[in-house]
Structure 1
């Protein structure tokens, strides 16, 4: 985190509620033409907040889901607009979950252009619409979509979408959309209602040399802000991001570099959903490389009540939400293609100081609601009138976490031990053939004798090593488990596996 100055020294659900490859150096780019959006953000922060004006005008008001899908940008007007070398841009209509107007500016041939929204930029499915007006005063675009020849040189694939509050998402080669990112989160997982800062202004520069730059103005009741992003699509699509936050009030519930995902069920607790598929999730692991040199592996859960976890740190190396299951057999879903959904890895640049990586897990009974959020929260609150900048790289990747670890975790599972009522068995599989490693298991919130049966043994056909143990939670309200493999010299050979047990989770039939 950079303190610059101070005068006083669920995808659709969440939007509706609001209505790794190798890392290179951060690139430097020329200032945008026209008025500086950073200066505009500073001016916004110094003024009282003005919420967006009322209801959308026709034909974008009072839409059903199917009606909104029946609005399509016209090629050459609002779709497939050339945006420099090897990039095209689509402008997205307002309506349904996306009522708030977003001003879109494009730099074309070095000239800054602003595109007003008019209905003639779109076609409208006749069964849902009639008497389309010529103008829609007060309406603006809801966001934009970027295209690039990602998988084939003759096909302009979607690579990124920016739409709804401050949400955006991207994919790399051979991926389908999954989890999302945000410019900033406010109050996520807290006792008060969450606040959703939104993009009010997007400025897209001309693509060149395989990358494209976008700027955004952010506004909400509690803060204004500015985002500067450079997207480089590829096998992994990488974003170099700088976010400047300008609080109007003191903020102690900030979420920096937030990632939002979905987890319904998996092998840690299959009873969470009666479903034919063995797994249903966009992400299944929070992985952290902390400033102390540890690698933390935290399986994600679908809890019975909201769970918030804080992983204290200073200057984290990276954190991300990962999809570690990568075969069709993991999911058995011919339509959702969860095995092809990206992981997202945040790598901070510069000093972010002391704080915590936060994980918020929210109960859900459906795969259509995002219920997982991970972000960085600084230890010190952001002060009203201050200016704070966070630089980081965000990689959308299929790469496994911790590729350099000697004994990476392949999977972890749990289930009832049927011959011992109330007892739960855990198994962790490691991608290693070393049988000289020693498992180190501990728990917090209870007594060590609640753990038993700790063993390490090889899996069949050279598939790795398995650790198994039993947990007898007794009357505990919550227990924190920690497991690590060490070598003969006592050095860590695996990530630190972390898991929170709660009795409500084991209450499922």
Structure 2
């Protein structure tokens, strides 16, 4: 199954009612193959003010293109609606990074207003069915110019590249407040969102929408593409400003101002969304021919006290929400650490999926990094959410301002200098040649790093273990027998009664010296 189709199905299952910025029809003038509305003043402060005013009004659903026609634009029909890149915004000049637009369809039914900013003034980019290729008989041709049928946009590689029209876009915004970017290994994978409302709660999750965008050009490849956005939903209205830079991967500086219409039970800031089906840790017998299937294999955290933590992901039997209480966190991210093709054997190249790292640029105060893990039986579903949840209860009328930097790379931008966890493996407990005791699980947790390679010959690191309940036995460490310097594993058996989850903690030390990051694991006895 292709990545594009998997993404469509993920979003189709998730997206709920949308909203859009109500801007009436405008007199138009033509330029560069696009049609624009009249100029209106625009500023970031003005957008924030507009969001505050919008939050003081009842939420209104957006105007929609003809639902009967849009429903007919299924996956196959949407795939044929390719934007004509000769009509790309900045395709011939004005910015080094062209932008193309995406069409509404069955799985992306909401409309989004697009605007170009020049010299402090904004003009709406007006929808025209002729901007898209689909054939003269395509059902989308039946839609009129109002309301707009734009659903999202793509940011393309530099026009200085002769192949930019053939290259994959490096940033995409499509569906609710979802967006993605290319990592330094050349692939997209997990997604981010403007805001998460209520994942993992007893109530249905609410999906706010980016309902309008305003684009500012990047004059050189070193300059950022600036994207301003208005977010709206029944619970919140907000203003966002993205400064996106294309380098070895993508780095986005994000500023947000959120205004609440009503209290939110669980408000997730800087949310990351990914897919984890199975890894080498736990895999049902013959569930799939591939060794591993995941876009991310763990949650990495760098807490306010300076501790680096690695939490391998799970595919639990029921929804699980884990909270890691912190104050002024230094960062967190969903990571793909396993880069060996042999561990995936898949043509979609899961080993190239990016790591997305959230770096706060302001003091986020007290709260928790929350990890939501949702059961899945296939790779078509995004079932992992990681986000920051403030400690204080939310209140209607309150404004939340926060800033962060989002890195789309191959690894964490600030990795621990200590040894890092590389794999978590489970098996039956006990010793070879002896009857295997029931209810005993053996763990093999692998660490690798220069600090372990520098240990004197004959010196072994000491595993330091704890658990919320249960007993450890047969605890020891050994070098992994692959002749790779600094590659060690901690082994132990674990015995516990009952089926309730167990929280486990492990790190390696020598004397008083800590040698590794901290491994946290939620073990589900089976």
**Which ranges of structure 2 fall in alignment gaps of 5 or more residues?**
1-6, 17-40, 431-435
Matches within 5 A, 1:228-239: 228-239=241-252
**Two-structure CA RMSD over aligned residues (Å):** 2.3
Q: Which moved further from structure 2: 83-92 or 159-168? A: 83-92
* Match 1:13 to one of 10, 13, 21: 10
CA distance in 2, matches of 1:82, 1:493: 54
Q: TM-score, normalised to structure 2's length?
A: 0.85
Aligned to 1:439: 463
Task: Describe the shift of the 1:338–1:48 C-alpha distance in structure 2 as closer, same or farther (beyond 3 A).
Answer: same
CA distance in 1, matches of 2:398, 2:187: 39
Aligned to 2:27: none
Q: For residue 38 of structure 1, give the secondary structure of its aligned residue in structure 2.
A: helix
* Match 2:209 to one of 198, 204, 226: 198
Please tell me whether residue 326 in structure 1 is matched to residue 351 in structure 2. no
- Cα shift readout 1:430-466 (whole Å, capped 9, x = no counterpart): 113334421101100x24xx21111101122432111
Aligned to 2:218: 207
Task: Describe the shift of the 1:166–1:83 C-alpha distance in structure 2 as closer, same or farther (beyond 3 A).
Answer: farther
CA distance in 2, matches of 1:237, 1:348: 16
- Cα shift readout 1:277-325 (whole Å, capped 9, x = no counterpart): 1110000010000001111100001111111100000000000000001
- Deviation, structure 1 residue 117: 1.4
Please tell me whether residue 99 in structure 1 is matched to residue 99 in structure 2. no
Task: Describe the shift of the 1:65–1:462 C-alpha distance in structure 2 as closer, same or farther (beyond 3 A).
Answer: same
Aligned to 2:402: 390
CA distance in 1, matches of 2:112, 2:361: 29
Please tell me whether residue 429 in structure 1 is matched to residue 440 in structure 2. no
Aligned to 1:46: 56
- Deviation, structure 1 residue 37: 1.8
Matched-pair contact (CA < 8 Å) for 1:94–1:100: yes
* Match 1:154 to one of 140, 162, 165: 162
Please tell me whether residue 456 in structure 1 is matched to residue 467 in structure 2. no
Q: For residue 427 of structure 2, give the secondary structure of its aligned residue in structure 1.
A: strand
CA distance in 2, matches of 1:87, 1:305: 44
* Match 1:132 to one of 124, 128, 141: 141
Aligned to 2:262: 249
Matched-pair contact (CA < 8 Å) for 2:423–2:447: yes
- Deviation, structure 1 residue 426: 0.9
Q: For residue 77 of structure 2, give the secondary structure of its aligned residue in structure 1.
A: helix
CA distance in 1, matches of 2:125, 2:237: 23
Aligned to 1:183: 194
Q: Quick one: higher RCO (CA 8 Å, sep 6+), 1 or 2?
A: 1
Matched-pair contact (CA < 8 Å) for 1:187–1:254: yes
Matched-pair contact (CA < 8 Å) for 2:99–2:154: yes
Q: TM-score, normalised to structure 1's length?
A: 0.88
Task: Describe the shift of the 1:451–1:251 C-alpha distance in structure 2 as closer, same or farther (beyond 3 A).
Answer: same
- Deviation, structure 1 residue 170: 0.3
**Which ranges of structure 1 fall in alignment gaps of 5 or more residues?**
1-9, 20-30
Matched-pair contact (CA < 8 Å) for 2:65–2:149: no
